[in-house]
């Protein structure tokens, strides 16, 4: 079910989600889990690979309706999604790709977005001419161009080298601080979750349930490597206690 929720609020209560396997059995992916986010919250989902994070995101996006439970999205929710792969249309230029997803975006807003993400000189390039890092930036730009009510990011910085991932994280922080938006970020890096989120949800191995829900103090503020290590330890301890 997808009822329209209180404005700006994302609530999801999942009882059970399983897949039918090729051999006729059932693969239990998600257990009982609930997440509620207020408008503007940035949540990070962290869990071992294969625990059902992407499945959870697909349920929220409405791409998978075969589950038991309720998802309520903000009323008239506009979605901005950054998939694991950039998923750009190779036969349209960078700019056309973004305008197709966000036809209402003004020239000014787009120019600002291109400038923030360092894409200005790539506006007329085709996706095949871009490196993976650039293509991921275009995917980020597309998600922000729609001015979403709910932003979903599925491991958006995976397989990028560390300095580039750090730069894109900084750009993401800048975009979120400029226009607060309810955000759901999937990652398997606790450090990344600490750097970006207000709340970190730790998921168990499949069938996934939430083992810890840790609020982050002074979210997206500047911190030293030591501070991050201390926070990461605290989150890992919370996970073990649960």
Contact residues for other proteins, defined by CB under 8 A: 61-63, 78-79, 81, 83, 85, 87, 89-92, 100-102, 126, 128-129, 142, 146
122 vs 220 by CB, closer to other proteins: 122
CB of 129 to other proteins, least distance (A): 7
CB of 193 to other proteins, least distance (A): 23
Element (H, E) at 84: none
CB of 112 to other proteins, least distance (A): 20
130 vs 239 by CB, closer to other proteins: 130
151 vs 193 by CB, closer to other proteins: 151
> By CB neighbour count within 10 A (0-12 exposed, 13-18 middle, 19+ buried), where does 84 fall?
middle
Provide DSSP, 103-138.
TT--HHHHHHHHHHTT-GGGTT--GGGS-HHHHHHH
- The C-alpha atoms of residue 71 and residue 127 are separated, in whole angstroms, by 34
Whether omega for the bond prior to residue 207 falls within 30 degrees of 0, making it cis, is yes
103 vs 215 by CB, closer to other proteins: 103
81: CB partners within 8 A, 6+ apart = 61, 143, 151, 152, 153, 154
CB of 101 to other proteins, least distance (A): 4
103 vs 222 by CB, closer to other proteins: 103
CB of 153 to other proteins, least distance (A): 12
């Amino acid at each position: 079910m997808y009822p329209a929720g209180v404005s700006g609020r994302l609530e999801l209560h999942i009882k059970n989600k399983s897949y039918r396997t090729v051999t006729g059995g059932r693969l239990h992916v998600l257990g009982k889990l609930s997440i509620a986010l207020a408008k503007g919250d940035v949540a990070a989902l962290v869990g071992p690979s294969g625990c059902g994070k992407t499945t959870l995101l697909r349920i929220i996006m409405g791409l998978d309706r075969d589950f038991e439970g309720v998802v309520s999205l903000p009323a008239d929710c506009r979605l901005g999604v950054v998939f694991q792969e950039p998923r750009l249309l190779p036969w349209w230029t960078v700019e056309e790709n973004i305008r197709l997803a966000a036809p209402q975006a003004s020239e000014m807003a787009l120019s600002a977005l291109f400038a923030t993400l360092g894409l200005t000189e790539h506006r007329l390039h085709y996706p095949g001419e871009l490196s993976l890092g650039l293509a991921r930036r275009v995917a980020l730009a597309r998600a922000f161009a729609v001015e979403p009510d709910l932003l979903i990011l599925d491991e958006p910085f995976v397989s990028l080298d560390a300095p580039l991932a750090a730069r894109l994280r900084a750009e993401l922080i800048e975009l979120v601080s400029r226009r607060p938006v309810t955000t759901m970020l999937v990652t398997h890096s606790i450090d990344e979750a600490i750097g970006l989120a207000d709340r970190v949800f730790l998921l168990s191995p499949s069938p996934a349930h939430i083992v810890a829900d840790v609020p982050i103090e002074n979210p997206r503020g500047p911190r030293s490597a030591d501070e991050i290590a201390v926070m990461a330890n605290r989150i890992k301890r919370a996970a073990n206690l649960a």
